[in-house]
Amino acid sequence: MSNFLPNSLVKKLGVNPLFDTEGFIRVHEEGKRATAIRLNPQKLRECPFPSSGMVPWCESAFYLEERPLFTLDPLFHAGGYYPQDASSMFIDHIIRRLEIGAKPVYALDLCAAPGGKSTLLNSSLHPESLLVANEIIKTRVNILQDNLTKWGNANTVVTNNDPSAFDRLPGYFDLMVVDAPCSGSGMFRKDTDAIDEWSEANVKLCSERQQRILAESIAALKTGGYLLYSTCSYSEEENEEIADWLIGTGDFESIEIAIDGDWGIEHTKSAEHAAHGYRFYPHKLGGEGFFITVLRKIAEQSTFNRKRIKPEKSDVPKGVLDTWLLDVDEFLPFIHHDDLYIFPKVYENDLKYLQNVLYLKNAGINIGKLSRKELIPSHALALSNVLNTNFQHLELSLGEAQNYLRKENVTPENISADIKGWTLAKYKGMSLGWMKVLPNRINNYYPKELRIVNL
């Protein structure tokens, strides 16, 4: 047995005669972990680091030869990629196998912070989908919003609600992703403190909490909709038994997802209803411990009356966005707390539905503040994928870009005399934020709260 892994956990896993206990213990003792990133396809097409190969179950994802200091890379701050454990990226494969991305859908990431799965959904789903990313813990919502801001899409709503709040949106979503809070045994290599905190009693508590989360929110999934339930736990009580419990309610059926046998993913079946599950073990593949199951809702789910809401008269001055956006007519502009936002016009009614029952942290893209003289553009607009691509910019060197991210003075050598006013700071063609070029200086508008302190 291992000297530091919980013996009760290792014994339970070892009940399976095919389980490689020695390999499992050895990979934890060695501690060497794979580093992977997933590219933002709207911003970056090639891996910016030396790669040891692609993540086989996720498009645009790569294993890196070594872990870089992401804080030093301007492309990270520009939203060019997201460092994410490769096991979690399996959701991309599920979406492609089920062809969920073939048409626009309503999707909910229920336990979304810090945002890895939400940014993945933003890339994998149809670009005209509506994504609601929710996080119950207030202290974690800001990092979720920051990561989605970097990703740059307008079709996203960030909410801060208990899962039970979604019971007020019956039959609303086509897809629900529930990466449930768990006992964390799959993260032992990443977070060694989790080993000391793990116990069988905690596994039981987590299983009960997972059932509560699902029971109080699952009405939001429409008939025929898909539930992707996942954890970073190895315990059956939090994984296969949860799938059995859901199927036992009569509301769900299990869906099998075809996988390549060379990937090292273990295909399991639950004890009671033979529900399909997919387990990721670090001694068998390049990723941390992970479990996921796919269920389809078969019960008849009533929904609410989606009556058309009369549009309110806009208080946004006409033409104010014409020079800033690529497709002005596609978006609904609105003002909230003195900030100007845009949201996909096709989802105007949905924004009202969501506002009526949820606390919204952010909706669409914050464009900036309207002053009497001009629009003061926001950082979110600079990182967005809706900004006019012809907007004037300055291309910075690595050192200049790092100084910009530290919110220091930037004096690019290649500045043209024709550049005046609001200007994008770019690095390798990707926007980092705003500068304002004045006759005798350049003002750095990188947000103070995001500045890099140690570079």
Q: Which two tokens stand for residue 199?
A: 């116990």
Q: Is residue 113 a known part of a binding site?
A: yes
**Does the annotation mark 232 as catalytic?**
yes
Q: Is residue 162 a known part of a binding site?
A: yes
Q: Is residue 248 a known part of a binding site?
A: no
Q: Is residue 111 a known part of a binding site?
A: yes
- How many CB atoms within 10 Å of residue 67? 13
d(CA 190, CA 187): 5
d(CA 266, CA 18): 11
Q: Is residue 377 a known part of a binding site?
A: no
Q: Is residue 112 a known part of a binding site?
A: yes
- 362's CB contacts (< 8 A; 6+ apart) are 145, 148, 156, 157, 158
d(CA 121, CA 148): 11
Q: Is residue 92 a known part of a binding site?
A: no
Q: Is residue 116 a known part of a binding site?
A: yes
388, 377 Cβ separation under 8 angstroms: no
Residue in 58, 182, 206, 232 annotated catalytic: 232
Q: Which two tokens stand for residue 31?
A: 């501690």
Q: Which two tokens stand for residue 78?
A: 């520009």
Q: Is residue 289 a known part of a binding site?
A: no
Q: Which two tokens stand for residue 92?
A: 């991309």
- How many CB atoms within 10 Å of residue 407? 17
d(CA 321, CA 387): 10
Q: Is residue 163 a known part of a binding site?
A: no
Question: Would you please indicate which residues are annotated as catalytic (active-site) residues?
Answer: 232
> Binding site for S-adenosyl-L-methionine: residue ranges?
111-117, 135, 162, 179
> Binding site: residue ranges?
111-117, 135, 162, 179
